[in-house]
Every structure is written in C-alpha cells, then in structure tokens.
Copies of this chain bind each other. A is one copy, B any other.
C-alpha cells in the first residue's frame, strides 16, 4: 500500500502537510494543497485507518455482541446496524456468545485490545452486571433488545404492551384457555411479556392457570417440545401465545403433528414478526418489532456517544410495537 511518505515525496512536501490537507482541520496553502491532492490521486493513496487511530486509540470499529446469528430476530437488526455504521465510517465485528458469559467476556476483552470504539450488546441479563462497570469506566456501549437498568443507553421495544395487546386480541376473539410459551424469566423482556399476558387476562377476569404456562423455552425445537408436552397433558387449550416467532414456529408444527388444526382447534400468536411470519401456514398473527430500525437507532446512538465531547446521559429508548393480524388466530 502507498504510504503518506511516498505521497509527501511526490508532492515535494512533508508528511505533515499531506496529513493536514487530508484532515482539512488545519489550513494549507491552496497551491500546495493542489499538489498534494494530485499526488494522492496519482498514487491512489488511501491512508491506513489503523495507523490513523493508533495515536488517539480509536479504530473506527464497533463490536456487535449477540447470542447467535442463527436466531431469526437478529439478521434484520444486524443489517440496520451495519448500514448505519457504514454511513458513519465504522466497520462492525460480529460476535456470537450463545449466552455464555465467558465467551462474552472473551470478546469484550479481545475487542478492547483492538481499540474497539464501542459495543452494541444483545446479551444483557442478570449476572452481566460487570457490563455496567465497563460503562462507568466511560466505555461507549448500547444495549439492544435486552436491558439492565437505566444506566446504559438502551434500545428496546414496548414488550409489555406488545404482549398485552396480543393477549387481549386473543381474548377478544373468544379464546379463554390461552397457554403461554415463554422464554427465560430472568431476561427482562420475557418478564415484561409475561406481565402483559397476565394483565390482559386479569382485565378480562380470566384466572391465570399455572399449568398452561411454560417458561425457559428457547427457539423452535424447544417451542415444539413445549407445545407437545402441553398437548399431551390433555389440558383444555384453545390458544397459545408464544413469546417469540421461533417458539411459535415450533408450536405450530407440534399442533399440526398432534393432528389439530390452527386456528380452528388452537390459535397461535407469535411475537417478532420475523421475515418468515407471513409465509408460515397459516400466516402467523404476531407482534411486529422494528428490528431494522432498532439496529439503526442503536448504532446511531452508539456513534453519537463515541463522537461526543461530553458523554450524554444514558437513555432508554422504547420503540412501539404493532399487532399484525394474519391467520393463525381464529
């Protein structure tokens, strides 16, 4: 690669001058500026971004830490982040942790050694409080989808309302025995979704039935298993609210494999509105999360924090969700 020295030589100036005409922050005589620009062009010079950053410890790189790209919800968010990062001259490193805290720590440590400028994390949950210290150290960071208090910038969705609306809708359709297939209760968003579900039942004076509720379900396979178990218990169930689309996909399959019809026998409600939802059979009624936008917002925020002279106060941004009615609820 062509270096600044070669450009300097060709233009007959010092490296400092080349650097200055490039940065534009310090005035350079128009005539020499032209000479430098010409040399840059002739040599097709592109400054080494890493070397540029060495001095002030920046790398123009962002770390994105998620549980697993293979989870349906992430690709859209990743796209939002990546598109936004690109716009601001940043590059993004993708890290999968499988929810393992040691892997997460490994990545954080590793990326810091690469002078990473900031992190977007979708892995926050109890036990990950050390992230708050990182933040206190002044390290730029935003939480996406997951949250852990108010001290870190966060982009989430109104999970309570989403679940509440979803459940209320199911009730309005005459459903009375609505099972819940939920995720880990120590992840805040699943607790909120659980609360939304409870609240809607409560308002309709429908008693909560413990035997219809299953937590700690993760992904399609698990969703399939959870639904199957529920079905085999021969409980009275006319609907199931799966608090994520993957779980709904699994539940759908289990219900059909059990010989029942959706939504005639059992209605299914999802949460996410992932790309696949309209193509499922029946097309999935679900709660839409603006994943791409969440990615954009999170990334915009992170860049703002990184580039701010004075760090802004953390804020939790709650984006709206929307019930998308298709055919899986009667």
Contact = CB atoms under 8 A, between A and B. Distances in A.
A250 B279 CA distance: 7
Interface stretch (A32-40, A41-49, A159-167): A41-49
Contact of A279 (B59, B78, B253, B278): B253
A252 B95 CA distance: 34
B93 A92 contact: yes
Contacts of A113: 1, 46-50
A220 interface: yes
A110 interface: yes
A82 B110 CA distance: 14
Residue with the greatest number of chain B CB neighbours at <10 A, chosen from A50, A53, A59, A60: A50
Contacts of A209: none
A96 B75 CA distance: 11
Quickly give the copy total for this chain. Answer: 2
Interface in A248-273: 249-250, 252-253, 256
B91 A111 contact: yes
A168 interface: no
A281 interface: yes
A316 interface: no
A176 interface: no
B276 A50 contact: no
A54 B1 CA distance: 13
Contacts of A48: 113-115
A79 interface: yes
A93 B253 CA distance: 36
Interface in A79-113: 79, 82-83, 91-96, 109-113
Nearest to A57: B1
B115 A50 contact: yes
Nearest to A71: B75
A129 interface: no
Nearest to A109: B46
A220 B96 contact: no
Nearest to A83: B96
B249 A276 contact: yes
A321 B207 CA distance: 52
A279 B249 contact: yes
A61 B61 CA distance: 11
Interface string A108-135: 0111111100000000000000000000
Nearest to A46: B113
Given A70-B275, A249-B276, 10 more contacts: A47-B113, A48-B114, A48-B115, A49-B110, A50-B113, A50-B114, A91-B95, A91-B111, A253-B283, A280-B281
13 contacts: A1-B112, A48-B113, A49-B113, A50-B114, A51-B54, A54-B54, A82-B94, A92-B93, A93-B93, A220-B275, A252-B281, A276-B276, A280-B280
Interface of A: 1, 46-51, 53-54, 57, 59-61, 68-70, 74-76, 78-79, 82-83, 91-96, 109-115, 220, 249-250, 252-253, 256, 275-276, 278-281, 283
